[in-house]
A and B are shown apart, each in its own frame.
Chain A
Amino acid sequence: MTTLGGAAGFEVIVGGGLGRTPMIGKTLREFLPAADLLPYVEAIVSVYNLLGRRDNKYKARIKITVHENGIEEIRARVEARYARLKTLFKGADQQLLQQIEAHFKAPEFICEKAPEFDAFKEESPGFCSWVDTNITAHKAEGYAIVSISLKKHGDTPGDATAAQMRVMSELAKKFSHDELRISHEQNVILPHVHRSDLPTVYRALRTANLATANIGLISDIIACPGMDYCALATARSIPIAQQIATRFAKLELEHDVGLLKLKISGCINACGHHHVGHIGILGLERAGVESYQITLGGDAGAEAQLGTRAGPGFGAKDIVPAIERLVLGYIELRADADETFLQSYQRLGAAPFKALLYPKEK
């Protein structure tokens, strides 16, 4: 979503995707008026339908079509198709959109001070730490966005028990205008919590074992189900995530390490999005044993970037020590405590990080 001269619209990006052929999407159009989204998206699908590969189902992907034909060719075709499709939309779509939008109105926010919040922050270091990592600023004054971490060190990332789910649903009902969202990072979001309610929410979460203060840190790992559950997997993901989280909890270093996105996939299909992790781990099978490949420098943010493979894979026993060497080494390498792992990597390049992973090659 973007704006041009005050008007709302979209930057349209096509041809991105992970899996066995990871690609960053390319900008098809810098600005598309919001009202023209449907005909434009239809034009893209329509062009892809005629142009996409049909000889090989693994190549029947928009990313492959864009890659093979070039963004200029796709753009010319999409714009021509869009000009034709646009005339078919005569206003009913916008009317329907308005009706739908009426169901998604922002709640009525109450702007008042939250003395309980400040007092409890003084009193409880646990609360203070949780607020530091798990709270995101809200656009409405006096409100906060709460991320409930489902990444308790040593537990299965993204899992919640039935009892925990009931607690979260009750909290959403009472304190978040009856809204609760699931994030792709395998956590739960309470989108509109008044700051004065944060101490109560925190206490309830802590009682339910849901107050882990690690959002955005190294133990907040995205891990696919891996070979423990998935028929496609070539290696286990969950035990690796658990071991990394437990190890860094023991080292008591993760708050010092700071923002670090670690993502694990148990096969080439990349459900764990390892290509866009600051550190990515891809579990493969090599001659009957699990082998874990590390990618570095990926970024799922606004400056999307695919990570690059650091070198040969590590066995199941060696992967956690390798990650530990890498992260401890980063602490030595970083310019100051504010420089994140990704920033250090971008500043210094791959070489010093590879040296940390493969010390014998020195």
Chain B
Amino acid sequence: MSIIITDSGFFSNYQDAKVSPNHPGPSVDLKSDFDPKDITQELLQARCIRIELPSFADGRAFTLAILLRSHGYTGHLRAVGYILADQYTMVRRSGFDDVEISEELAIRQPKKQWQDRADWRRHDYQGRLREQTL
């Protein structure tokens, strides 16, 4: 079973994680090699988009998340796969709502490691540069 990680902790099921996207559309899974040229209106209507990160060294999902958000996607965005706790801040800043990892990976990286990075707005230098004024 997989573990869902949000700013408030570990959850083993979707409902408990208190993510209730308002979109009526379907849930879509994307691979990390998804070509942003294939972003369609239909995709942007999805209730939830899960993007797979095959390894912690594959950062394509970060760019895809930013692109989906910049195309106006407002549904739920989830990073799924091999993600390290250290990356949680960057996952959140790039537009993901939460993270889904395997139980095995969650045992190696207990809740505290993720909670240490839960305050992802702190020191968000890129976000700061994109505000209206300082």
Contact = CB atoms under 8 A, between A and B. Distances in A.
A119 interface: no
Given A54-B58, A96-B134, A46 B66 contact: yes
B129 A92 contact: yes
B133 A49 contact: no
Interface in B106-134: 128-134
A96 B59 CA distance: 28
Contacts of A88: 70, 130
Given A90-B132, A92-B132, A92-B133, A50 B36 contact: yes
A338 interface: no
B130 A93 contact: yes
Interface string A84-102: 1100111111011001000
Contacts of B132: 90-92
B70 A85 contact: yes
B90 to A, nearest CB: 12
B67 A95 contact: no
A252 B7 CA distance: 70
Interface residues of A, number: 16
Q: Which of A50, A91, A93, A95 has the most CB of B within 10 A?
A: A50
A36 to B, nearest CB: 13
B67 to A, nearest CB: 7
Nearest to A94: B129
Contacts of A49: 59-60, 62-63
B134 A95 contact: yes
Interface string B32-76: 000110000000000000000000001110111011001000000
Contacts of B66: 46
Contact of B129 (A38, A50, A84, A99): A38
Q: What is the interface residue range for chain B against chain A?
A: 10 to 19
Contacts, number: 41
Contacts of A99: 134
A90 B133 CA distance: 8
A93 B134 CA distance: 8
Interface of A, secondary structure class, is helix
Interface in A20-70: 38, 46, 49-50, 54
A133 B133 CA distance: 48
Contacts of B63: 46, 49-50
A75 B55 CA distance: 28
B131 A92 contact: yes
Contacts of A46: 63, 66-67
Interface in B57-104: 58-60, 62-64, 66-67, 70
Contacts of B58: 54
A93 B64 CA distance: 23
A85 B64 CA distance: 13
B21 to A, nearest CB: 23
A95 B35 CA distance: 35
Contacts of B64: 50
Contacts of B60: 49-50
B67 A84 contact: yes
Nearest to A54: B58
A85 B63 CA distance: 11
A49 B32 CA distance: 11
Interface of B: 35-36, 58-60, 62-64, 66-67, 70, 128-134
- The 4 tightest CB contacts between A and B, nearest first, are A93-B129, A92-B131, A49-B63, A88-B130
Given A84-B70, A91-B132, A92-B128, 9 more contacts: A38-B129, A49-B59, A50-B64, A88-B130, A89-B130, A91-B133, A92-B131, A92-B134, A96-B129
25 contacts: A46-B63, A46-B67, A49-B60, A49-B62, A50-B35, A50-B63, A54-B58, A84-B67, A84-B70, A85-B70, A88-B70, A88-B130, A89-B129, A89-B130, A90-B130, A90-B131, A92-B128, A92-B132, A92-B134, A93-B129, A95-B133, A95-B134, A96-B128, A96-B129, A99-B134
